[in-house]
Amino acid sequence: MRMLGIVLIVLGALALSYQGFSYVSRDTVVDAGPIKISADREHNVWLPPAVGGIALLSGLALLIVGRKNGAVI
């Protein structure tokens, strides 16, 4: 439970600091026999700050609960 808490804290902090990510996909524009033309398109994924905050607080709650229950990794 403590390990999951740590992972949530790290992911929440990253989500709050970057607030999204982008990736590139290659799409085929023209496919006419032997002629193929493709284009790289950039897609942006926005993460609301509430998602990062919830993940961060959930991770902290898991660490506190894990400490009170005496869980050992």
Whole-angstrom distance, CA of residue 73 vs CA of residue 61: 16
What residue ranges do the domains of the chain occupy?
A: 2-69
Please report which confidence band the pLDDT of residue 1 belongs to, taking 50, 70 and 90 as the band edges.
confident
**Residue-wise pLDDT tens digits, 3-57:** 898 999 999 999 899 888 899 999 988 888 888 899 999 999 998 999 999 999 9
Residue pair 52/16 in contact (Cβ under 8 Å)? The answer is yes
Residue pair 9/56 in contact (Cβ under 8 Å)? The answer is yes
Residue-wise DSSP of 31-67: EETTEEEEEEEEEEEE--HHHHHHHHHHHHHHHHHHH
Residue 70 DSSP symbol: T
Residue 27 DSSP symbol: E
